[in-house]
Structure 1
């Protein structure tokens, strides 16, 4: 296995659709949509640092949600926030973007809403979320867990799994299957590049895009 930084660079050289196809081919859950970047066109890959939120009633006491988890994450991490897809209350905001950026965290993917996108944009901090909502989490959400498995949409994410996100979607690669999925993604990319080259050279589309060829089960 390559070093962690090099491994993540290899994933950022791909795109979410290619990695999703590779996950399919490896019998793993594919990528998912509905988590677009809240600004720009970032592409990030990192090891999941997980937090699960849940509803609460009343005023928070002690440290705000997310703060402890951000304080122990670092330059190879992406924050993954489980909030059951809620879009009526923010699960990520401007001050935590500042704190995460200062820790060199690569970005956040939250299964919920966010706010203060202008601050994230000014920081260059990538935020992927279901929606934007100005409503504060204070008195509405509390932190159920940090550093454990969480559900992101239809996919379970374990701490340390590779998460990749771009404008096309979000993919999660189990840490123990990273080498296999990366190798398959490279095969997918090379195969599609050959097909695209043939189409550009004049090969009729039905011939170029045979199902068997796209699946990589015949010689090229």
Structure 2
């Protein structure tokens, strides 16, 4: 499914420092270094939440109908505590890759938040759980027979911004910023 991506872990002190910074300040700092780190069009679905953590990347692809049903969430038990899941569903608005079941699992396992290049569902439950979820919007239709897992822990490109496993993700009400390693 994927080859493990090698990366140098970001120091815990850097992660802790970023807990106190907003995305606008981080974006300005990256901009001054000539680094474009903002993810346009991806917004908080749960007002007042934020997350800071190491990117765990997930890539989806359209279902190959000839191969039958393939689960879209078969990676979730591989995600380390303290991670921010970054999922690329190629910006699709017709099916979701996140909902209430994934939210409950994430909360129970110390996952800091989720960023989706696509849409999410079960938003009322996600809001009631106060789980940090950032996506392009909301839609109720599941991924079943529409999209499938392609790879985990591989570099993703979302709107021209590369997110690598191990990059630092900081998300708040203004959006999401990728701080590269």
Q: TM-score scaled to structure 1, two decimals?
A: 0.73
User: Residues 1-220 of structure 1: matches in 2 within 5 Å?
Assistant: 3-4=11-12, 6-58=13-65, 59-61=68-70, 64-68=71-75, 70-175=76-181
Which structure dedicates a bigger proportion of its chain to strand?
2
Unaligned runs of 5+ in 2: 1-8
Greater length-normalized contact order (CA 8 Å, ≥ 6 residues apart): 2
Higher helix share: 1
RMSD over aligned Cα atoms: 1.7
1:96-140 residue CA offsets vs partner (Å, 9 max, x unmatched): 111111111001000000001122222221110001011110000
1:77–1:106 contact (8 Å) kept in structure 2: yes
Deviation at 1:150, TM superposition (A): 0.9
* CA displacement, residues 130-166 of structure 1 (integer Å, 9 cap, x when unaligned): 0101111000001111011112232111100001111
Report the structure number with the largest CA radius of gyration. 1
Q: Hey, what's the Cα distance between the residues in 1 that align with 2:10 and 2:100?
A: 34
Give the secondary-structure state (helix, strand or coil) at the position aligned to 2:44: coil
Where do 4+ consecutive residues of structure 1 move more than 3 Å?
none
| Number of equivalenced pairs | 171
1:21–1:30 CA contact under 8 A, matched in 2: no
